[in-house]
Structure 1
Amino acid sequence: MTLRSETPPTPGNLAVETPPESERPTTAMLKADIDSGRTGDKVAHYDPGLSQLGTDDEAAGNAPTPDRVALARKTEAAPPKAREAARPENGSDWIMPLFIGLAALVPVVVGVSLFVFNR
């Protein structure tokens, strides 16, 4: 049996930086906000998509204006508390060792109690 890696394959393992503020934001900047974790609704890694945000709108002849994209970037930004909650690696290093310790401790306690009380 092989153990699977917890690191997703490329390009899912690529970290994305939050884009800077801009007077004329683009849909690529909005997608980078989402991929960087700024919106707080997903883990901060690149998410390959079939088509980029706004592609369907452009094909329909209704391309998103920089004002609409700026509004979306502003309203989609999550507060810092939500961004911290979206990071699974922060502050949870103790959970797995505790679980393994308890899982190992239960059979020991049951075995010792059966041994002691069945004498």
Structure 2
Amino acid sequence: MTDHSDIPPTRTLKPMDPPPPSSRPSVAMLQGDIDSGRTGDKNPMFDPSGAPLGTDDEAAGTPPTPFRVAVARYYETVERWTGSTWKHGAAHHKWDGLPVGFIGFIVAVGVILTVGISMVRALTPGA
């Protein structure tokens, strides 16, 4: 039997709890809000691809201040749900408008061709 003690345990299978409120929020707390599902962007699971959130700012020498992170947390969690400006995307409703638009386009082209052909036949003498 192989020993896998060197492989870190995965956290992707367990729902994440949201981070507690803080007077000095960090980017990790904002990532915790996203991973816990509080922002409505994704299912409440750990997302390893979201780990570098804020890394670019730190590498540029301008890490986000706690105030900026607090504002981002507020708008991502509270403001999004209380304001009426946030709308669910097509993916959240499992509906994609592209096939409906494509079928509508095909039907419109068919109607235009049918009407055009019938008008040409009506105007052509002896047809």
Q: Which runs of 5+ in 1 are unaligned?
A: 1-9, 81-85, 87-119
1:43 to 2:61 alignment? no
Give the corresponding residue for 2:54: 54
Hey, which bits of structure 1, 4+ residues long, moved more than 4 A?
A: none
Higher gyration radius (CA): 2
Cα distance, 1:26 vs. partner? Answer: 0.3
Residue 43 to residue 51, structure 1, CA distance change in 2 (3 Å): closer
Q: Which has the higher contact order (CA 8 A, sep 6+)?
A: 1
- Across the two proteins, how many residue pairs are aligned to each other? 72
Q: Which runs of 5+ in 2 are unaligned?
A: 1-9, 83-87, 89-127
1:79 to 2:81 alignment? yes
Cα distance, 1:15 vs. partner? Answer: 1.7
Q: TM-score, normalised by structure 1?
A: 0.55
2:61 & 2:72 partners in 1: Cα distance? 19
Query: % of aligned pairs identical?
Result: 54
Cα distance, 1:11 vs. partner? Answer: 3.3
Residues 59-102 of structure 1 deviation map (CA, whole Å, 9 limit, x = unaligned): 0101000000000000000428xxxxx9xxxxxxxxxxxxxxxx
